[in-house]
Structure 1
Amino acid sequence: MYIDNTLADIKVRKHFFSVPLDYQQSPSKQITVFVREIVSVENQHKQLPYLVFFQGGPGFAAVRPVSNSGWIKRALTEYRVLLLDQRGTGLSTPVNATSLSYMSATDQADYLSNFRADNIIRDAEYIRTKLSPGEPWSILGQSFGGFCVLHYLSAAPEGLKEAYITGGIPSLTRTADEVYRATYQRVMAKNNNFFNRFNDARTLVDNLAKYIFDNKVYLATGELLTVEKLQLLGINLGMEQESEAVYYLLEQALIETCYGTDINPLFLHQFSQFLDYNTNPIFALLHESIYCQQQASAWAAHRVRAEYSQFNYRPGKPLLFTGEMIYPWMFSQFEQLEPLQQAANLIAAKKDWPSLYNLETLAENKVPVAAAIYSEDMYVEMQYSLETTRQVNNLKYWLTSEYEHNGIRMDGERILDKLISLNRGHCLR
């Protein structure tokens, strides 16, 4: 099934595919996977190859284009672009507390175990047989999308002509504990950068933390605002322009009234817009599992945090923001996560996650791969990414300090152009 639309300078075709929930079972429950195909108006009648985009996450729908700009503009000069809503996101049989409410916690956990990169790539290969039968296609992965690219290269390289990765080369072998030990240190560095950039941020943050510690503060959603929830704002510190947004939010958090210091209602309305856990529950439910191969995560970020007492707040102690970490208490403090708490615990205890990467296949990889590695990336440890580049044959990379993790959003046309040039042996400009 497909539907045609038009955007500014872009022709759009909406595709809906029915795919198995579990490719290992026959018969299997079917779910819907949605793909938005876009092509520039000037190329709409040309037979162009496909470029499939894998969004970051896990648990986020593909970008919704509004114009022919950024990395999409560069891609549309020579491709038809497929924007894949990974299963469980966007228009692809969404996962949320409502859609899972009819299941037991055990059934929820079993259902969600089918939403990792392995099945995302099975979906992509199924769709390729429908849209590009007999022809390999090109792929681009951002952040977690890069994890999907590495799995695709492991599991179905015959389906690929070329691959691109931005800000998302995972370790092929390291555990979730190792990943979080590295990223906690990167988060501390981003905290230092933040408080050095904004001279009054330390006072603003510590005054706010003490106020929240001493008073019951409720967000506009009705949820209790705790100090540990305040710390979650740090997930934004690794994105260009988002540190500024966090600062401006904090700047107006407290106000002075005739009765003394109070919390600003504007802050209470805006705060939740900086965190995606209620709207994108897969991110919280499955984030740690993206590092798991034949072992349980066992709430890795929570356990490893105990090694970094700097993040444990108490009045009189400077508050540090955390980063892209998931904690078990989040499933009692976020309204849309609370009904999924038991399932989250079962997922954290799951030990039999399949392997995601075939080291032998990757060592003999023939698909040209070009990757952008951001040396200052808060979310992906650079040394682990470089370690992986030595384990994947035919992978070229561009290491740069010019961008934060969201470089493709900020300067995507230039970044993708550089990677295409790198993959095809041209000199980088």
Structure 2
Amino acid sequence: MKSTAFVDAGVHYQPHYFNVPLNYDHPEGESLEVFAREVCQNDSASKSKPWLIYFQGGPGFPSPRPNGTSGWLKRALKDYRVLLLDQRGTGNSSVISHQTLQGMTAKQQAEYLSHFRADSIVRDAEFIRDALGINTWSTLGQSFGGFCTLTYLSMFPQSLEASFITGGVPSIERHPDDVYQATFKRTQEKNAEFFTQFPTAQSLCKKIADHLLIHDEYLPNGQKLTVEQFQQLGINFGVSDTFLPMYYLLENAFVTQQDKPQLRYEFLNEILMQQNFQTNPIYAILHESIYCQGFSSQWSAHRVRQQLDKFDYAPNKPFLFTGEMVFPWMFEQYVNLKPLQQAAEMLAEKRDWSNLYCAKTLKQNTVPVACAVYADDMFVEMDISRETLANIPNSKAWITNEYEHNGLRADGEHILDRLICIAQQIKANQIQHS
């Protein structure tokens, strides 16, 4: 059953469904259903407000399901009608999961999934803009949503009034190896901060890792837990206020049963709940392809990690968490990724990825682009973001160390307000010099 319109706390929510081509180069072929939710204040004045489309981070996650008006949405609704887009393959948009892909061969899976990158997402947005009769609109992109924004600015700049990016300005030409060299360094720094704040955490982590090396422990879904999976909890270090919850989790990891230590069910269940790759496989299978343009990733993060043996745990070495990286062994260990292993290998070797960005178009940009760039971002390197913005006129970065990668979620009302002011300044300068 499809969603229907409703009003909550003075806000009107209107669902929209669109049938779009799977492959825009062959629009006569297979189609997908894409869902987006319009959100506006429940008054007549909102109908005349300009539009703002939101691109979620990921890749592979749906748009937020707001519960009340707070954060960035509260600020946005003052000036805009907001469209929360479930990017293709997520939420209510022809969802991708181990269930929906199970009837395909590996080759079919790889071909199908190759159409779920930023270029296709942006074409969906253009399809929707035209279907709704919108002349131009503004964009808000968080993390991977910022990647989508630069693709939009490359492909359809004439459709954009202004663009706001938070923690998501990518390189438009670097190989993912460069990206992972930088993010592994940031991950090491976050490890150092965590273990400095909680010195006993190192011994707790080593106790868990050593236990996993000699004892079989299974998550509630029957998946064997490994040291490598345990290390992936470090992805949390990229967002704010996670050091203390991590320490609490570690200090309560064990229970004694018949004089033998074993990992507590609560601990195992929490690890499973944090394995987003299980429920959102796009995040794993297409994560490295978001950097690829005419070349293959060939498991970039894995190759970079092989040069950093300090991340390979052994009982005589310090324990380190990893971060936002995808590795080939995940498709051997994760229950819901195992059926996608062959397709993942094909996509890792795929060389003919289309271009996501156009440097020439971006160098001629006239759309105000206001960006929050986080100095200590563990996922998107500040120096790379600055490098990109230096070649995009009418863009401006607000560089801050007040926030982690999740700044929009932590203090969205303030951040979006700041970015709107920056975009207005850019526009005023354009008018002054025209």
* TM-score range for the pair, normalised by the shorter chain length: over 0.9
Cα contact 2:374–2:403 (8 A) shared by 1: yes
Which whole-Å CA distance do the structure 1 matches of 2:11 and 2:198 have between them?
Answer: 41
Which residue identity lines up with residue 264 of structure 2 in the other structure?
Answer: N
Residues 149-187 of structure 1, C-alpha deviation per residue, up to 9 Å, x if partnerless? 000000000110000000000001100111111111010
Q: Equivalent residue for 1:354? A: 354
1:14-413 aligned within 5 A: 14-42=15-43, 46-133=47-134, 135-257=135-257, 259-413=259-413
Residues 219-253 of structure 1, C-alpha deviation per residue, up to 9 Å, x if partnerless? 11110000001011111111012333222221211
- Residues 298/336 of structure 1: CA separation in 2 closer, same or farther (3 Å cut): same
Cα contact 1:2–1:16 (8 A) shared by 2: no
TM-score w.r.t. the length of structure 1 is 0.97
**Unmatched 5+ residue regions in structure 1?**
none
Which whole-Å CA distance do the structure 2 matches of 1:247 and 1:12 have between them?
Answer: 39
Cα contact 1:293–1:354 (8 A) shared by 2: yes
Cα contact 1:52–1:82 (8 A) shared by 2: yes
- SS of match in other structure, 1:77: helix
Which whole-Å CA distance do the structure 2 matches of 1:177 and 1:129 have between them?
Answer: 37
Which whole-Å CA distance do the structure 2 matches of 1:41 and 1:192 have between them?
Answer: 49
- SS of match in other structure, 1:124: helix
Residues 352-410 of structure 1, C-alpha deviation per residue, up to 9 Å, x if partnerless? 00111111110010101000000000000111000001011110110000000000000
Which whole-Å CA distance do the structure 2 matches of 1:26 and 1:11 have between them?
Answer: 33
Which residue identity lines up with residue 146 of structure 1 in the other structure?
Answer: G
Cα contact 2:187–2:378 (8 A) shared by 1: yes
Which residue identity lines up with residue 132 of structure 1 in the other structure?
Answer: G
413-422 or 265-274: which moved more?
265-274
Which whole-Å CA distance do the structure 1 matches of 2:46 and 2:81 have between them?
Answer: 11
Which whole-Å CA distance do the structure 2 matches of 1:343 and 1:44 have between them?
Answer: 49
**Unmatched 5+ residue regions in structure 2?**
427-434
Which whole-Å CA distance do the structure 1 matches of 2:114 and 2:99 have between them?
Answer: 18
Which whole-Å CA distance do the structure 1 matches of 2:144 and 2:10 have between them?
Answer: 29
Which whole-Å CA distance do the structure 1 matches of 2:93 and 2:268 have between them?
Answer: 32
Which whole-Å CA distance do the structure 2 matches of 1:322 and 1:270 have between them?
Answer: 17
Cα contact 1:11–1:44 (8 A) shared by 2: no
Q: How many residues align?
A: 425
Give how far 1:45 is off. Answer: 5.0
Which whole-Å CA distance do the structure 2 matches of 1:273 and 1:147 have between them?
Answer: 27
- SS of match in other structure, 2:238: coil
Give how far 1:198 is off. Answer: 1.7
Which residue identity lines up with residue 287 of structure 1 in the other structure?
Answer: H
Cα contact 2:47–2:81 (8 A) shared by 1: no
Residues 182-230 of structure 1, C-alpha deviation per residue, up to 9 Å, x if partnerless? 1110100011111112232111111111111110111111100000010
Which residue identity lines up with residue 21 of structure 2 in the other structure?
Answer: P
Give how far 1:88 is off. Answer: 0.2
Which whole-Å CA distance do the structure 1 matches of 2:421 and 2:411 have between them?
Answer: 16
Which whole-Å CA distance do the structure 2 matches of 1:44 and 1:266 have between them?
Answer: 49
- Residues 43/53 of structure 1: CA separation in 2 closer, same or farther (3 Å cut): farther
Which residue identity lines up with residue 242 of structure 1 in the other structure?
Answer: T
- SS of match in other structure, 1:19: strand
33-42 or 333-342: which moved more?
33-42
